[in-house]
C-alpha cells in the first residue's frame, strides 16, 4: 500500500479536537475484499460509534426495561421476549425467511475505559485488553492467512484508509468510494467558539479540516445543525458514499470470485437525541443489508453478514435524551446461510443489581466466540486456530449453531 495513504488511526490521532465524533464517524469508508476457496461468503460490517443494543433489540419481556427506556413501546415484538426497532422493519421479511438473527448481551473483552479509538481497535484486532495499541494485524486478515489458496483482488484502486480488521501479512486489496468531510457554517462556528480558548484543540481542529479538504474530494452535502443536537453539530461530517452503493459494489464482487468483504457504517454514537439520530443510522444499516440481499441474487443463500460494534451504551437515558458509552451490546447477522431466525442470548436482566457497574448491560458472552463459530462453519477453520491465531486468548465455548 502506498506510503502517502492517510491511515484512519493516524488521522484520528492527529485530529483529537474532534474527539469521539470522528472516531464514531471515520472520514473514509473503506471496503476490503479477499478471495478464498469454497462457496461460502462473509460480509463484516463494523458499526462505528457504539450501537445501543437495548434500542435495537429491546427485551420487552424484561420488567426492568420500562423504567430505563420509557419509549420502548415504539418497538414491535420479534419473538415473544425481544422487540425490534422500527427503523429495522425493512429486515422483517428476512426474519420471516429465517435469514436474520441476533446475539444479545455480547461484547469484546474491552472494559471500563470506553474510548472509541481503543474499542474499535480491539474489535478489529480481535485480541484482549492487554494488547490495546500493540496489535498491528486484524482478525479478518489473520483468517485469510489461514485459508489455503486464498488470493487478493488487485484490480482495485487503493483506498485512502485501511481498516485494522484487514491489515496484516495476508494480501488483500482495498477499494474506496469517493468520500468527503464537509462542515456546515453552523458547525464551523460552533467548533470555533468551543475551541477558541484552547490553542491545542483549536489548532488540531484546523489541521483536521485542512487535511480532509486537501486529501479528500469534496462533494457531500452536510446536514444542517441545530443547537439541540450537540453531537451532530460537533461532528457535522458525512461520508459521501451511500450504504446501498457500497453494498451493491460488494455484492457485485461477491457474485464473482470474492468471498470476503468488509466495510464500516458510522453514526451510532448517540450521546444526545437518540430517538432522532439512531433511526437514521439503523436505516443506513437496513439499506446495506437489503441491498446485499437483492444484489447478491442466488449467492445470498451462501452468504453470512455479521455487523458488530465496539461497545454498547448505558442502560439509562441521559439528560440530553441520549445514551453514553457502555459495555455489552448486540451483534446482527443476516444471510441465507443462517440456520434460522433467532436471538442468541444468556440474558442477564435489567434490574440495577444485574447491570454491569450498575450502569450498563452486562456482557454474558464474548462476541469473538460467535464470530469464531461463524468462521468455523463457513471456512472450516479448526478450533485451535481460531482461539490461538485468529482470536488469541478466546474462550470459544459451545457452538451456538448460527450457520446451517
More confident: 403 or 3? 403
- Yes or no: say if 225 and 232 are a contact pair by the CB < 8 Å rule: yes
Q: Which of 261, 252, 243, 289 is nearest to 41 (CA)?
A: 261
Model pLDDT for residues 12-26, shown as the tens digit of each residue: 444 443 445 445 444
More confident: 197 or 71? 71
* pLDDT interval class at 192 (50, 70, 90): low
The whole-model pTM stands at 0.81
The secondary structure of the chain in percent helix, strand, coil, rounded to multiples of 5, reads 40, 15, 45
* Residue with grid cell 459494489, as numbered in its chain: 249
pLDDT exceeds cutoff 90 at 225? no
Q: How far apart are CA 314 and CA 53, in angstroms?
A: 10
Q: What is the pLDDT of residue 354?
A: 97
Calculate ∠ Cα 167-285-346, nearest 5°: 85
- Yes or no: say if 165 and 124 are a contact pair by the CB < 8 Å rule: yes
Model pLDDT for residues 108-137, shown as the tens digit of each residue: 999 999 999 999 999 999 999 988 888 889
* Longest distance between any two alpha carbons in the chain, whole Å: 58
Q: What is the mean pLDDT of residues 98-106?
A: 98
Q: Output the average pLDDT for the chain.
A: 80
Q: What is the pLDDT of residue 202?
A: 57
* pLDDT interval class at 186 (50, 70, 90): low
Phi, psi of 22 (to 5 degrees): -70, -35
* pLDDT interval class at 160 (50, 70, 90): very low
pLDDT exceeds cutoff 60 at 219? no
- Yes or no: say if 264 and 26 are a contact pair by the CB < 8 Å rule: yes
Q: What is the mean pLDDT of residues 244-258?
A: 87
DSSP 52: -
Q: Which residues pair with 101 in a beta bridge?
A: 333, 342
Helix (H) or strand (E) holding 308: strand 303-309
Domains of the chain: residue spans and CATH: 17-179+239-390 (3.40.720)
pLDDT exceeds cutoff 80 at 230? no
Q: How far apart are CA 52 and CA 75, in angstroms?
A: 14
CA distances from 74 to 80, 88, 214, 341 (A): 15, 12, 44, 22
Q: How far apart are CA 38 and CA 58, in angstroms?
A: 37
DSSP 386: I
Q: What is the pLDDT of residue 345?
A: 97
- Yes or no: say if 279 and 205 are a contact pair by the CB < 8 Å rule: no
Amino acid at each position: 500500500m502506498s506510503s502517502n495513504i492517510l491511515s484512519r488511526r493516524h488521522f484520528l490521532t492527529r485530529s483529537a479536537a474532534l474527539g469521539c465524533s470522528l472516531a464514531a464517524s471515520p472520514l473514509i469508508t473503506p471496503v476490503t475484499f479477499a478471495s478464498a476457496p469454497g462457496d461460502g461468503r462473509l460480509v463484516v460490517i463494523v458499526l462505528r460509534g457504539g450501537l445501543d443494543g437495548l434500542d435495537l433489540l429491546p427485551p420487552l419481556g424484561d420488567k426492568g426495561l420500562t423504567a430505563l427506556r420509557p419509549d420502548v413501546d415504539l418497538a414491535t415484538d420479534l419473538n415473544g421476549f425481544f422487540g425490534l426497532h422500527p427503523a429495522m422493519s425493512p429486515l422483517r421479511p428476512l426474519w420471516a425467511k429465517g435469514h436474520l438473527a441476533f446475539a444479545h448481551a455480547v461484547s469484546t473483552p474491552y472494559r471500563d475505559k470506553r474510548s472509541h479509538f481503543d474499542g474499535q481497535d480491539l474489535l478489529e484486532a480481535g485480541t484482549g485488553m492487554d494488547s490495546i495499541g500493540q496489535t498491528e494485524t486484524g482478525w479478518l486478515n489473520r483468517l485469510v492467512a489461514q485459508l489455503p489458496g486464498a488470493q487478493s483482488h488487485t484490480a482495485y484502486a487503493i483506498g485512502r484508509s485501511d481498516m485494522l480488521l484487514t491489515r496484516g501479512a495476508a494480501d488483500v486489496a482495498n477499494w474506496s468510494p469517493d468520500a468527503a468531510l464537509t462542515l456546515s457554517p453552523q458547525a464551523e462556528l460552533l467548533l470555533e467558539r468551543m475551541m477558541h480558548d484552547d490553542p491545542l484543540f483549536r489548532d488540531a481542529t484546523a489541521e483536521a479540516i485542512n487535511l480532509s479538504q486537501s486529501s479528500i474530494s469534496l462533494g457531500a452535502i452536510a446536514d444542517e445543525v441545530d443547537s439541540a443536537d450537540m453531537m451532530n453539530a460537533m461532528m457535522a461530517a458525512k461520508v459521501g458514499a451511500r450504504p446501498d452503493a457500497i453494498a451493491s459494489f460488494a455484492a457485485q464482487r461477491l457474485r464473482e470470485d470474492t468471498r470476503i468483504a468488509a466495510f464500516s457504517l458510522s453514526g451510532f454514537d448517540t450521546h444526545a437525541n437518540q430517538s432522532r439520530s439512531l433511526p437514521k443510522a439503523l436505516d443506513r444499516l437496513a439499506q446495506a443489508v437489503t441491498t446485499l440481499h437483492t444484489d447478491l441474487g442466488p449467492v445470498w443463500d451462501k452468504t453470512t453478514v455479521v455487523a458488530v460494534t465496539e461497545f454498547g451504551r448505558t442502560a439509562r437515558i441521559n439528560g440530553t435524551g441520549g445514551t453514553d458509552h457502555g459495555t455489552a451490546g448486540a451483534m446482527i447477522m443476516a444471510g441465507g446461510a443462517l440456520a434460522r431466525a433467532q436471538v442468541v442470548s444468556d440474558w442477564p436482566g435489567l434490574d440495577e443489581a444485574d447491570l454491569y457497574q450498575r450502569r450498563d448491560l452486562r456482557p454474558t458472552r464474548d462476541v469473538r466466540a460467535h464470530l469464531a463459530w461463524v468462521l468455523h462453519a463457513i471456512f472450516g477453520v479448526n478450533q485451535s486456530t481460531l482461539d490461538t491465531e485468529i482470536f488469541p486468548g478466546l474462550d470459544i465455548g459451545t457452538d451456538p449453531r448460527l450457520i446451517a
